[in-house]
Amino acid sequence: MKKIAVLTSGGDAPGMNPAIRSVVRTAIYHGLEVVGIRHGYKGLIEKDFFPMKRGSVADIVQRGGTILLSARCEEFKTEAGRKKAYANMQEEGIDGLVVIGGDGSLRGVQKINAESDIKAVGIPGTIDNDLACTDYTIGVDTAMNTIVEAINKIRDTATSHERTFVIECMGRDSGYLALMTGLAGGAEYILVPEIDFTPQQVCDKITQGFKRGKLHSLILIAEGVKAPFADLTEYHGSPGMAMGDLIREKTGMETRVTILGHLQRGGSPTATDRIVASRMAAKAVEILLDGQRDKMINYLNNSIGVCEIENAIKKTETINMDIYNLANILSM
């Protein structure tokens, strides 16, 4: 192997830049040429390539987002689009590819390995932490810290005005972010897609809390929550808005809703995200040099390892009920 490429795909995540930096400098250390690909899989099709040297990744370890830029690419989902991408890589002399992204990005890695001679591996980069076979995905620690900081600030206002606040966080179909930040932030109720609930249960807990003298109530809800108001979200706009309106209707309490949105993806990566990203990226280069393909780098029991991509994207991960139950106990 003489030349490898690196790209970021899908939603950006803090820690992608440290991962890019580690891919480039580890590869150069081992005598490889490195090609950067802008705009994810779209860049493969449009041949948006450029050579990367050690200096190309100077002073990016602390930066959020991705210097390679990111995009979603419908054309890569077509056979014709992928054939064009493969031809471009072969013309450039690319032997291996490192893709940093979530489950959609990893599915692209699978296609490349199945349909071409190029060896491709994946690094899990998503704030949702919704992949199997790994305890950790790049970006989740920074996102959690951003959410907890927002919770802290909202609590100040909630207490001052004796209000109930509903805070909606990201996570797609996973409740991981809501659960962990709800525990860390001391939310009174945590609503996640994996666990059923009724609006009345939430309202009863809020009411009981105020009767005991609580000055505020914070409800953390994951964006992927659909039941029990799937029919209401089109009218209300989102799970958070729907929950806020239902609390007002059922309790008569003054309720505010904060949808944190994309601010959860930004910001300088935490030390943990920088360290894990750097270690994962170095491992990705090492396994390419070893001739491996169709693998994802994982993080289990504080160790960097390798797993089959097929197993990682099965999404068999479930909510940790011990943590969920603890959050409920501590919020009483």
Would you please indicate which residues are annotated as catalytic (active-site) residues? 128
Q: Which tokens in the block code for residue 77?
A: 């989902």
The bridge status of strand 217-222 relative to strand 164-169 is: parallel
Is 217 assigned to a binding site?
no
| Beta bridge partner(s), residue 201 | none
Is 21 assigned to a binding site?
yes
Is 202 assigned to a binding site?
no
Is 82 assigned to a binding site?
no
Is 171 assigned to a binding site?
yes
Is 125 assigned to a binding site?
no
Is 215 assigned to a binding site?
yes
Strands (E) across 217-294 are located at 217-222, 255-259
* Among the listed residues 273, 272, 264, 275, the one whose alpha carbon sits nearest the alpha carbon of residue 15: 273
Q: Which tokens in the block code for residue 313?
A: 């994207």
Is 264 assigned to a binding site?
yes
Is 172 assigned to a binding site?
yes
What one-letter code names the amino acid at 10? G
Is 258 assigned to a binding site?
no
Is 212 assigned to a binding site?
yes
State how far the alpha carbon of 124 is from the alpha carbons of 4, 74, 114, 329, in Å.
Answer: 18, 21, 20, 33
Answer whether 138's CB lies under 8 Å from 276's CB: yes
Q: Which residue has the tokens 């992204």?
A: 101
Is 73 assigned to a binding site?
yes
**What is the three-class DSSP state of 184?**
helix
* Among the listed residues 332, 285, 267, 273, the one whose alpha carbon sits nearest the alpha carbon of residue 120: 285
Is 263 assigned to a binding site?
yes
The bridge status of strand 255-259 relative to strand 164-169 is: parallel
Annotated binding site for ADP: 21-25, 155, 186-188, 212, 214-216
Annotated binding site: 11, 21-25, 72-73, 102-105, 126-128, 155, 163, 170-172, 186-188, 212, 214-216, 223, 256, 262-265
Annotated binding site for ATP: 11, 72-73, 102-105
Annotated binding site for Mg(2+): 103
Annotated binding site for substrate: 126-128, 163, 170-172, 223, 256, 262-265
